[in-house]
Amino acid sequence: MEQWIHFFIQEIKNTTLLEWLGAGFGIAQVLFAKINKVWLYPTGIVSVVISIYIFITNGLYAESILNGYYLVMSIYGWWFWVYKRDVVPLPVTRTTRQEWKTVLAIVIGGFLILFLVLKFFTNSVVPVMDAFVSATAWAGMWLLARRKLENWILLNISNAVAIPLLFYKQLPLYAVLTIFLFVVAILGFFEWKRSIETEKNDSSGNKKAVGDFSKAV
C-alpha cells in the first residue's frame, strides 16, 4: 500500500501544468453542472480542448475522439441554454428492449471500428481498452440524450475501465477526475430513479383522483 501511495505522489509531481488545467476545468464543469450554472459549458469546452491534446500526445486516440464529441455537444449545449431554455425537457424513463438492441449495436459496432482503426492505423499500445471506453461511453451518451435512466450504468462501465487505463498512461489527475465522475454517475442514477418513481406515483395519484371524481359525478 505504501508503495502505491509513493507511486501516486511521484506521478502527481510529474504532472504537467496543462494536465492540471485540463482536470481542473473538468472538475469546475461538473460543479457548475451540479448547481445548474451556464458556466459549465465554457469550462467544459476549455477542459475538452486541453484533454484532446493530452490524449493524442499520450496515444489515447479513441479518448480524444470521444472528447471531440464532448466539444461539439458543449458548444451545442451552450447555444441551447441561451436560446432554448424555455423548451420542456424530456421526462426520465427506462430503456426499452428495442433501445437496448441499439445500445448493444453501438457498443459492439463502435468497439470493432475503433479497435481496428487503433490496431492497424495508429501506434496505440492499448487499442482494446481505449476502444471499449469510448464505445461504452458513446452508448451511454445516446441514452443520456434520450433521458434514459440506464445511461448512468453505461457511463460507469466506461469510467470503470478508463480509471486503470489513465493510471497506466501516467495521467493520475485524469484518473482521479474519472473516479469523481464515477461517484457522480452513481448519485445521478439514484436521483433519476427517484424522479421516475415520483412521476409514476404522481401519475397514479392523478388517475385515482380522476376516477374518484367521475364516481362522484
Number of folded domains that form the chain? 1
Q: What letter would DSSP give residue 93?
A: B
pLDDT at 23: 93
Q: Tens of pLDDT along the chain (217 residues)?
A: 666 676 667 777 788 999 999 999 999 998 888 787 889 999 999 999 999 999 999 999 999 999 999 999 899 889 988 887 777 777 889 999 999 999 999 999 999 999 999 999 999 999 999 999 999 999 999 999 898 999 999 999 999 999 999 999 999 999 999 999 999 999 999 999 998 999 888 766 665 555 554 455 4
Give me the half-sphere count of Cα atoms (radius 13 Å) on the Cβ side of residue 180: 15
Main-chain phi, psi angles of 93, to 5 degrees: -140, 170
CA distance 150 to 140: 8
In this prediction, residue 202 carries a pLDDT of 74
Name the residue range of residue 59's domain. Answer: 2-85+95-210
To which H or E segment does residue 190 belong?
Answer: helix 172-216
- For residue 153, being part of any structural domain is answered with yes
Structural domain contains residue 186: yes
Sign of the Cα pseudo-torsion (181, 16, 28, 67, in order): negative
Tell me whether residue 79 is in a domain: yes
Does residue 142 belong to any structural domain of this protein? Answer: yes
Q: Which of 143, 174, 179, 182 is nearest to 57 (CA)?
A: 174
Question: Do the Cβ atoms of 183 and 30 come closer than 8 Å?
Answer: no
48 within some domain = yes
Is residue 90 a part of any domain in this protein? no
**72 found inside a domain:** yes
pLDDT number for residue 213: 46
Residue 216 lies in a domain: no
Q: What pLDDT score was predicted for residue 17?
A: 92
Give CA–CA dist 107/136, Å, rounded. Answer: 5
The dihedrals phi and psi of 163, each to the nearest 5 degrees, come to -60, -55
> C-alpha grid cell for residue 71?
466539444
Model-level pTM? 0.85
